[in-house]
Amino acid sequence: MQDDPVMRVIAKVLIPSVMLFALYVQFHGDYGPGGGFQAGVIFAAAFILNATIFGLNRGRHAWPARANLLAICLGVLLYGGTGVATMLLGENFLNYNALSDDPIAGQHLGILLVELGVGITVAAVMVSLFFTFAGRLTHIRLMRKTDTAEPDTAQQEGLGNE
């Protein structure tokens, strides 16, 4: 699909729109349906579309493995850190009332932070899974090249699988 100009133009228009929709789902999640998990999957879909249309190498440049690992850690730390912060403020784990003087404002802040952590983690994990499975074919091809370069001694002796 890398050589199809129509797909490339459509993807260049569609990818920012998908990311914007993911942000809408993320920050509208405490008022209606949606939230971190759905937004994370939608956001990851934009990067997966990018890698599918423009190639895995360009996709890996758009979201490098180091940034992906950092995003996974940041999301988990944001989620867990919100819970630890409520415990340090004298409440139960993830009791958002402690985050503000006004309990309603504390609830909004807490759910926003937790859903943001979930969204970041889910997006990074989904992109990581995609690149792992998409790069498997390249890995298999490389392994076949090494296998043909070094013949198996069991097959030379006639003991190979039949």
C-alpha span between 75 and 37 (Å, rounded): 12
d(CA 140, CA 152): 17
Q: Which is more confident, 136 or 38? A: 38
Q: Residue 154 above 60 pLDDT?
A: no
Is the predicted pLDDT of residue 25 greater than 70, yes or no?
yes
CA distance 76 to 96: 17
Mean pLDDT of 104-122: 92
Per-residue pLDDT for 162 more than 60? Answer: no
Average pLDDT of 89-107? Answer: 90
The tokens describing 94, both together, are 């993830």
Q: What is the mean pLDDT of the chain?
A: 86
Stated pTM of the model? 0.79
- C-alpha 77 chain-centroid distance: 15
Task: Specify the amino acid at residue 119.
Answer: G
